[in-house]
Structure 1
Amino acid sequence: MLLTKFKEGVLEVLFPKVCTVCGLKLSTNENFVCTVCLKDKFEEAYRGGKQASSDILLPEGISLQHALWNFDKGGHLQELLHQLKYNRLIGVGEDVGRQLGKSLLGNPLFVNGIKNKKALLLPVPLHKKKRRMRGYNQAFHIAKGVAEVTNLHIVRQETVIRTKNTSTQTGFSLEKRRKNISGAFQVQNPEAIEDAVCIVIDDVFTTGATTFELASKLKKAGCKEIMIATVAQA
Structure 2
Amino acid sequence: MKHFFNNITKGLSGIVFPRVCVCCGRENTAQQRQLCSFCLNDRFEDANPENERASSDTLLPEGILAQQALWNFDKGGVLQDLMHLLKYERLITLGIDLGRKLGERIRKHPFLNHTLLQGPISILPVPLHYLKYRFRGFNQAFKIALGFQQVWPQIPICDIKSVVRIKNTRTQTGLTLEKRLRNIKDAFSVNNPSMISDHSVVIVDDVFTTGATTFELAQTVLASGARAIIILTVAQA
Do the two structures share a fold, i.e. TM-score over 0.5?
A: yes
Instruction: Give the deviation of 1:186 after TM superposition.
Output: 0.2
The one-letter code of the counterpart of 2:135 is M
Please point out which of 13, 16, 25 is paired with 1:14: 16
Moved more, 70-79 or 107-116: 107-116
In 2, are the aligned partners of 1:105 and 1:150 still within 8 Å (CA)?
no
In 2, are the aligned partners of 1:187 and 1:217 still within 8 Å (CA)?
yes
Instruction: Give the deviation of 1:117 after TM superposition.
Output: 1.6
Give the 3-state SS of the residue equivalent to 1:202 in structure 2.
strand
For 2:178 and 2:219, how far apart are their aligned partners in 1? 17
Please point out which of 115, 118, 137 is paired with 2:117: 115
For 1:175 and 1:215, how far apart are their aligned partners in 2? 18
Aligned-residue RMSD, C-alpha: 1.1
Give the aligned partner of residue 23 of structure 1: 25
For 1:114 and 1:170, how far apart are their aligned partners in 2? 31
TM-score normalised by length of structure 1: 0.97
Percent identity for Structure 1 against Structure 2: 49
Give the aligned partner of residue 78 of structure 2: 76
Instruction: Give the deviation of 1:8 after TM superposition.
Output: 2.6
Q: Count the aligned residue pairs.
A: 234
Residue 233 in 1 paired to residue 203 in 2? Answer: no
In 1, are the aligned partners of 2:19 and 2:30 still within 8 Å (CA)?
no
Give the 3-state SS of the residue equivalent to 2:13 in structure 1.
helix
Please point out which of 197, 215, 225 is paired with 1:212: 215
Could you list the per-position Cα deviations for residues 70-125 of structure 1 after superposition, in whole angstroms to 9, with x for gaps in the alignment?
Answer: 00011110000100001110100000101100111111121222333211110000
Could you list the per-position Cα deviations for residues 137-190 of structure 1 after superposition, in whole angstroms to 9, with x for gaps in the alignment?
Answer: 000000001100012211110110000010111110000000000010000000
In 1, are the aligned partners of 2:99 and 2:144 still within 8 Å (CA)?
yes
The one-letter code of the counterpart of 1:86 is Y
Instruction: Give the deviation of 1:35 after TM superposition.
Output: 1.1
In 2, are the aligned partners of 1:198 and 1:225 still within 8 Å (CA)?
yes
Instruction: Give the deviation of 1:46 after TM superposition.
Output: 1.6
| Gaps in structure 1 of 5+ consecutive residues | none
The one-letter code of the counterpart of 1:219 is L
For 2:166 and 2:17, how far apart are their aligned partners in 1? 43
Please point out which of 167, 170, 173 is paired with 1:164: 167
Please point out which of 188, 199, 203 is paired with 2:202: 199
For 2:33 and 2:213, how far apart are their aligned partners in 1? 30
Please point out which of 182, 185, 197 is paired with 2:185: 182
Residue 61 in 1 paired to residue 71 in 2? Answer: no
Residue 50 in 1 paired to residue 39 in 2? Answer: no
Give the 3-state SS of the residue equivalent to 1:20 in structure 2.
coil
TM-score normalised by length of structure 2: 0.96
For 1:148 and 1:56, how far apart are their aligned partners in 2? 29
- Give the 4+ runs in structure 1 shifted more than 6 A: none
For 2:9 and 2:55, how far apart are their aligned partners in 1? 47
In 2, are the aligned partners of 1:201 and 1:228 still within 8 Å (CA)?
yes
Q: Within 5 Å, give how 1:136-175 maps onto structure 2.
A: 136-151=138-153, 152-175=155-178
| Gaps in structure 2 of 5+ consecutive residues | none
Instruction: Give the deviation of 1:4 after TM superposition.
Output: 4.5
Residue 34 in 1 paired to residue 36 in 2? Answer: yes
Moved more, 116-125 or 181-190: 116-125
For 2:116 and 2:102, how far apart are their aligned partners in 1? 16
For 1:10 and 1:50, how far apart are their aligned partners in 2? 48
